[in-house]
Amino acid sequence: MPTDNPEYDVAISFLSRDQGIAAAIHQKLSEGLRVFFYPRSQEELAGTDGMETMRTPFFDNSRVMVVLFREPWGKTPWTRIEETAIKEGCLEHGWERLFFISLEPESTLPVWLPKNLVRLNYADFGLEQAVGAIKARVQEQGGQPQPLTPKKRAEMFKADELFRRDKSRMNSEEGLVKVVKNVAELFCRIEKHTADVNAEGSLEIRCAKDFRERNSYQTCAITDGHVGLTVVWHQTFTNTLSDSALIVREYNGGLILPGETHRVHLVEPSQLREIRYSPELSFAREYGWKEENQTEFLSSDALAQRCVIQFVDLVNRDARGAVKRRSPF
């Protein structure tokens, strides 16, 4: 389909961990534009060649292609397909169709991205300005936002209502099983990433977990003997998520890990800070996590990486003398 009469005004490419941001942009744009957004377009893929269906909107069937970029975008199965279609589409129809949003300013941008291409740092502009800039680019490419109609608003409401219904099922017996399974997956991924850090050779980290189903507390702990970090799933009641939370705590001393009965503390470590997460459901109906007072959806692997990075940062602060601790004497 020629780009002068595309099916979509905007096609959004993003990693699964960024579905929350993508969904917010989709919701804002959909009030007047036609948007290709995979989690809410799954029915369009049913019965089709999924690879070609994912490729076409980014090659020549949208006025503007929006990339929400952070590593490893372009290296996962779906984003690799989209990246290839975007590059081929830009070479065929022009780079002005590409709207590149960097979600992490420190990320190394793709080498194929023209240096003169305007890009936006999401941290500097936020949701509203990003949406406004995308709308402006659509107009530059010949698109015109349409007034929000009652029918369109009803369609948006229906999609939101279906998502709210599915999200409420997280408190069902089936949903609670998936949440606990997600906790177990998170702990396993933390162990894997700490092992990867140890294999690199610059740090020696001990990691262990105490995971027993139906316990009120499930724990995974990391330490290098000088500082520590714990990830604790607290579920007060087995039949509800009420009063439950995933709590990440930093400590200014080495920790005794689950199973290390031979170790003792000369001085009990003190807690430095605490970050809370709650179970979350993505628009793709995947179970994951969300930091308290934040909107970003995190898969268990993404959160595991975040926790291990947080611990390495804590070790670095301690090496600089920035972590205060009490003397044992």
* Sign (positive or negative) of CA dihedral 318, 321, 323, 328: positive
Q: What is the pLDDT of residues 181-221, one digit of tens each?
A: 999 999 999 999 999 999 998 899 999 999 987 788 999 99
Taking the complete model, does pTM exceed 0.75, yes or no? no
Across the chain, what does the average pLDDT equal? 88
Single out the residue of 61, 86, 83 nearest to residue 15, CA to CA. 83
Single out the residue of 185, 166, 178, 171 nearest to residue 303, CA to CA. 185
Q: Is the pLDDT of residue 85 over 80?
A: yes
Question: How many CA atoms within 13 Å lie on the side-chain side of 305?
Answer: 7
Q: Which domains does the chain have, with CATH numbers?
A: 8-148 (3.40.50.10140), 170-319 (no CATH)
Q: Is the pLDDT of residue 36 over 80?
A: yes
Cα distance between residue 69 and residue 99, in whole Å: 10
Roughly what angle, to the nearest 10 degrees, separates helices 300-319 and 173-200?
Answer: 40
Cross-strand bridge partners of residue 75:
none
Residue 158 is predicted with a pLDDT of 87
Q: Which amino acid is at 173?
A: E
Q: Is residue 61 very low, low, confident or very high in pLDDT (cuts 50, 70, 90)?
A: very high
Q: What is the pLDDT of residues 270-311, one digit of tens each?
A: 999 999 999 998 876 778 999 999 888 888 988 999 999 999
Where helices occur in 73-218 by DSSP H, the ranges are 77-93, 122-140, 150-168, 173-200
Lowest mean pLDDT among 37-51, 55-69, 103-117, 210-224: 37-51
Sheet containing 206-210: order of strands: 206-210, 217-223, 228-234, 245-251, 271-281, 287-291
Cα distance between residue 250 and residue 134, in whole Å: 40
Cα distance between residue 181 and residue 176, in whole Å: 8
Sheet containing 98-102: order of strands: 35-36, 8-13, 62-69, 98-102, 119-121
